[in-house]
Structure 1
Amino acid sequence: MAPHPSLSRNLWQSEDANAVQESTPRLVHSLGERRSVLSLAVSDSYIFCGSQGQDIPASQDIPVWDRRSLRLKDSLRGHTGFVLALIYAEDEKWLFSASGDSTVRVWCTTTLSPLYVISPYLETGAGDLFSLAWVPSLRTLYVGCQNTSIQWFDFNTDLQPPSPTGLPGTGTSTPRQRDPHKFFDSYPQYERKPADIYANNGPGAQPRSRDISPPASECGGKSPRAFLNIPAENVVEFAHFGYIYCMALLQEEGRTSRVRLATGGGDEFIKIWDCSDKTPTELHAFECTNNGAIYSLVVKDDSTVFAGCQDGSVKVLDLDTKTIVRSIIVQEGVDVLSLSMVGGDLYACSANGKVQRFSASFDCTASWTAHDGIVLSSIITEDAVRPTLITGGNDHHIKMWELSSSLPSAPSPAGFDTPDTLTYALSKFISIPSVSSISSHREDCRQAAIWLKKCLAQLGATSQLLPTEDGKNPLVLGTFTGVAAKDKEHKPRVLFYGHYDVIPAPSDGWDTEPFHMTGRSGYLYGRGCTDNKGPILAVACAAADLLAARKLGVDVVFLVEGEEECGSAGFGEAVKKHKDLIGHIDAILVSNSTWFGEDTPCITYGLRGVVHCSLEISNDRPDLHSGIEGGAVVEPLVDMVHLLATLTDRQQQVLVPSFYDRVRKQDDAERERFAQIANGNSSTSTLSSRWREPALTVHSIDISGPRNATVIPGTIKSQVSIRIVPDQDLDTVAKSLCQHLETSFEALKSPNKLKLAVKHTADWWLGELDGFWFDALENAVAEEWGVRPLRIREGGSIPSIPFLEKQFGCHALHLPMGQSSDQAHLPNERISLDNLRKGKVILYLLASRVSRQFGSHFGVHQFNSMSSRLAALRWFLVNRLVSAQRSASGRKKADAPISPTADLFP
């Protein structure tokens, strides 16, 4: 089972019981209600409760509780529907209440008497009034309606006439009547009457003449001063494509500052509106795809909005960069119905009755069951001593919780202190045994993909899963959208490739549980720590931190597969199919290997390719007894030995015809690099053999039968691989290998049968050492480590790198984060905590350099059109072609780059 995907550490779950008790707010008082508490508001003297009840007298009243005595003081009567929203206007000493009866009522919080009744445009046609926002500087009330409109009432101009005392609204007259609506104010067709506002056609509609006040009994013996209408021009229709459940006013910095309003709807959108001239103008819309309706909003300062979603998450929105910088999973699938914030602490109230507190670093510092049912509402009061959280639920209780600013100490995952988001997330990632080569772990692989998708979303990316072949593991696609400078038409886009699958981890040889990350002496141990889960999360956390700091000047696109350890089955076709979704790419970044040594950082610039071939030799007979048939049959095992012997000589030279014809010669520059790397610890010839020369390996010989010393096996299987290098052609080598094996087997004149199959191939890769991207990466490594990195090659293969280069027409960069002793694919796999964190910083520096210099270096190639993307692809292919030509002609520095601004085609 996959771990809970939330990256918010449960710091309240300490082993110290006293610490747990201290971290949980203390219940100081409970107020009994006879109905569900839908909304709350607080003045200096009172607590107001918006209620809902069934078959209870006065169930739509607004109970008023005295804050000092905590006794019921009064009830505000007048609404005939559930009270869905309350808001206190401290500047006016007014209370606004919105109801399912399609009215907003205004109450004086000093005398607890009614002041006004405001009907929205279309009256009952507006439906339930779910949300309110009061703007003191404009003296304007905004209303979020069920019919998807935003409406507002201006107490400066819409309230007429002014009172004799100069205070608006003491008269009983109202502004001009609204125009009738063709649908909501229409009569039945057979009456053949034009629409008017007294059609009384809507369900429960009871329009009254605005010159007649309702009976005083309707308002608890106290009559409102005036009945008012929101004029037709004060309406933004279809502000959302769903009910407008919540509103939040962004902080105002002075009476003349810009006024902005945030709204959340049932359409999965959070919208930001400019209300400076009172008419809301949409500034930006955040889409929370697959998160359900937006039920609650709270604002921090003037730049961050927290949104509680139907799927149990809280979205963290940065208004300056217009990005979703984080997603906090409170409880999957459980509505987050109310949010409150004080001092950087966020309190999330859920439909499961729980309240959870999250710190400014998004860690869960408290969690408790506040109500026996649903927590419907919350509000925070800041008293003289300490703030109080007031919550309301459908268990007919209002509860008051004493908040403490003290936080419990953070527990550490096994063996390392104070984990940050990176190490905490990695501990969860490691715990999923995503072994792609074992069918029983297929669901674990899928859960790892789901977890990573949610992890990237929480860190601020938009993420999704992309299918591959049937029965194969999906790709994870995530995009961190950076902020473009105003003078740039386009941001650079970097694709990070990785893989979430791992190889098996038999317990033999492990000092600790392989799928439980532990820390010892500065290293993190666990299967996948270095290959490749650790580097994936280091890059993701780097992008998230830059995004949160509003310094991400590039788009970082994550493409993470789950079949790399099994040959990347389905990867290529899935990328081709979803290429438009991935978008154009300017550079590819990989971190899927280790350093040459322990102390000096490295950058990998070359990989060998590979051809994996399976061989099978068999006869038509079952396994035989050697004492009976020995010498009378041609044994398949003997044939296999003879056949394998034709592949190499005693000097390990491959005997496949024309095998070495296209191998690129080593130039002086690389020879010098190898000599610098060897430096007495190895020989340059050894490095060349491991990194840049082709090789053939016989991996296994498997026999049929019981493996008894007296048995002649009837079937023999073997696995062979060839590592290829620049400029060998992958298809040519694979075909030549098969032809050589078939010819050699025919020469044996054996009655047995040979079967061959090329199971897996990967092309070689050679990076661009003199381009802008490599320079930016090399300088970033040098800046962080204080030493120039070694330029190394690898003997292994990563098939996706050359494939991605060809698909997107750009170069790849390979930044290893692990050390040579990291034991990738072996017991006790590990990665240095320092390497992981420095790798994260290197990504900061790389992104900063690229965002600053991209425009000047790549001004000729603004990849914002199809023609320029084709030009980039042409540049890449010409580089590869010219390099091959130079190699064939024996020229030195075959991998010398061609300037991207070179006029290659007249």
Structure 2
Amino acid sequence: MIPPHNNIHESEYASHDRQPLPISSIPSTENLISTPRGHTPIRLNSPHLSMAELSLHNHRHHQASTASPSSSSGLHGEQQTEGRSSSAMPHFSNFSPEIAAAAEINRSSTPCSLEMSSSTDGMIIINGNGNGNGNAHVNGTTTSSITKSPSTVTHDEAHVPQLVHKWTHTHSILCCVALAKNKLLYCGTQDGKVLVYNMDTYSLSKIIPCGSSTEQPISILAISLNEKEDFLFVAGSDSLIKVYDLKTPECECTQVVYSLVDIGDIFSILWCEITSTIYIGAQNASILWCHVSLDEKKLIEKHHHDLEKLPHFRYDKFFDSKGPGGSQNTLQTQHNLLRRSSTRKTRVKLFECRSEDIVRFAHNGYVYCLEVVHNTSIGNSNDKDFLLSGGGDGLVNIWTFGDNTLKKLTSLENDESVLSMKIQGSLLYVGLGDCSINVWDLMTLQMIRSFRFGGNYDEVLSLDVYDNCIFKACSSTGLVKFCAMTHSSNVCDGIITMSVPEEDGIINAVKTFSIDSKTYLLAGGTKSLSLWDISEPNELKEQITSPTASSNNSIAKRLTNDDLLCMLKKYVGYKTISKNPQLYLEESRHCAQFLSKLLNKFGAYQTKLLPVENGNPIVVSEFKANSTADKSKKTRLLWYAHYDVVDATKNEAIDWSTDPFVLTAKEGNLYARGVSDNKGPTLAAIYAVAELYDKQELNCDVVFVIEGEEECGSVGFQQVISDNRGLIGEIDWIMLSNSYWLDDVTPCLNYGLRGVINASVTIKSDKPDRHSGVDGGVSGEPTMDMMHILSKLMDPVTKKIQLPGFYDNVLPLDKDSEKLYDKIAEYLGIQAKTLMVKWKEPSLTIHKIQVSGPNNNTVIPQLVSATISMRIVPNQDLEVIKKSLIETLTANFNDLNSDNHLLIEIFHEAEPWLGDYQNQVYSVLYNNIVKHWGQEPLFIREGGTIPSIRFLEKCFNAQAAQIPCGQSSDNAHLKDEKLRVLNLYKLRSILTDSFKELGHT
């Protein structure tokens, strides 16, 4: 008998309810990580802030704080601490206590939102009473115990961030950075200091004054480090960038960068190690850059009065003119005294930004943040290094840099001011002025998700991302850990609140870093700095997007079968479930980037991620033939695969004997979701090509086309491939491995698949749901009408489909094919007719019928809906069959003279495919299967559908061939999906020889 699990690799999740991008996640409440209490004027705390700006901000903050029981702070850092607990321990508190912590995802066809229910069950409380009962003390700080509500949510206690230490200061902490190598924390303050804290002793080890009390008061607004962590870059409201040598005992200022242009406050700086350049985002909407030498030998001594030409001493005709009576203001007096008294020398080198090294009006607003991206593809650009800037105009501008110039590549438009940014892999997280966070895929330039939170006047001043959790620092609601990508249907499984009861208010900066396999979060806010342990249990030490390594000399070592298994372990670890983009969209993007980087490491000529509207991107990568044996025209192969999988979480994972997304090896098999369909075969093909390329034995060009929506009917695939046909080029042969053997012992070659038409048929009455005892028989009932029209689609005796001319183009069975069927039937011990019904004859199936109204025996439903499918076979015209189906259903319905209404929707379709099993590719594969397996393969067809094969054949005018990898017992789409290790290795060997041989012909 043919195993029942065979041939189920097709588009299981095809649906007419496809969710558009970006996906909107809108929690109606937030939990807070509140450390500092008290209000600091606006985001940047600048002395240059106008009274109009300050007044507007204070008005907004007052509105936000009066609406929030968590905000009870005053202006300018004045604390209002009435009735507050003195405990310094974290605790959970709801931003809106009347709103619930339980949530469920609205799975309607509209953009996804996360809606909160009205129950408070499931909230986790961290008891911070500080009374010592059950609490441990570490380095003088009290760790928190955990209390759960009676309806305990299944949170792992280790997932709750733990407060490690808290420090206070007289002014606000505006920016921070960690030196992981030296276990030091550097924090820029509102009063012009850089505070240095030692993580070994949790003590303040040094204060670096960046502006003395005799000078104009400044605020440190931005801080950065070089790669070696031995130079610190500091910028702020004095329009200067000061470079401090951290190797010296006193952390001396050794370089100063300034501009002759009045740029105002410096809101962001970025040190680029590759070009030894400091990039500057300024208040006057410009971006500047300056090449800075960090070589100590080139330092020169300067008199202090030589610094008079710097911006904060520069004479201003308006502000520095004498007032009525000829008197000077206090600031002028301080400057003059400093000029007259300064005779000391300092070893410092001045760097002036050249007038040509500036992009004026880079934004139509302040330039709040800068990020740099190296060795990454963005859009269709061939450059690999980019500068990203976020501004008050709501734009993220992407710049290419080289030859001391900036050229704008493109802009990403957001609805509000861009105040903060964070890059993780190929994803850009953008914090906005309305408390929203947008997520952009840089490789496809698509906005894929938008997180929206309550509070229109709450600004995301800073954010960081760790382990699929977003830490956002806000101007009103403090610090929020939002784990919206934890794959839970309950949004509160993803929102965790950390709070220090006696302090609450603005958080200006957050930064994550790792030391000794632990991950920490540093949060600076109003007069306070807090350090949190955010390490996850059993956290992976491997980077989520980086296949290991690197140099060409090491490629050969990486191409072993052991390394293939290592990469497969990473590959299946991505939950690329295309059915649920609201939960797994980011993981699918990370997986696509993983493939892209792996292909590039192996020597791909070019690799692109092609964006799909409302879907996961398509990976297109080309390897050029590099064999020196033959210089003639090269054969070009296209290898088709997919990286998305069917679901194996929650209820689907209950019956699994292993974790579906952790590769488990036992009894000679590999167990994981997607290991057989289709991730294992995909890597086998990649490693086969990479091995030939590394040995300079690749005789043909190979183009990989790997999509992420196959399980959902290949959404957008045909349009994207058609639009990028020029990028892919001419193709001679198409190959794939997305099928299975008929049993567990005999290799097979697949040469045919049926097509499919999925339709939804709905009949609706103008009358509401009615009672059969009152209205039964009065008028035509939708359910009865549905029974009539569906019953006429098939003859009840012959089982033939009753569409006009339906069987006219079905191909007759030729003698060669008949021999193949007889051979398989004899081998399996079944009748050849059974195989023909399964593989080469069309069929009709009614999958489900649903009705409206309550589920009881007396209701006449107002609406009835049926889902049907038709399997069509090669040589039948899909468009003709589809039109005939609609016309037949409509005619049957019209014959009823019913008062009801009929609606027919075709929501998925795919053409049948029939390959030529006698062509060159099948001949080569056949011989290599015999060579490596020691037996002849069976030529088989299948009754299922792969949507893209026939399309690719027609698009590139090339024939396709399929070589199955897995056994019939692989359980694809079912529990305990597996792939035998031997099958994986054999497929790689067969493809290696086949690619090499096809290049010679």
Normalised to the residue count of structure 1, the TM-score between the two structures is: 0.50
Structure number with larger C-alpha Rg:
1
> Per chain length, whose mean CA-contact separation is higher, i.e. which structure has more relative contact order (CA < 8 Å, sep 6+)?
2
Normalised to the residue count of structure 2, the TM-score between the two structures is: 0.45
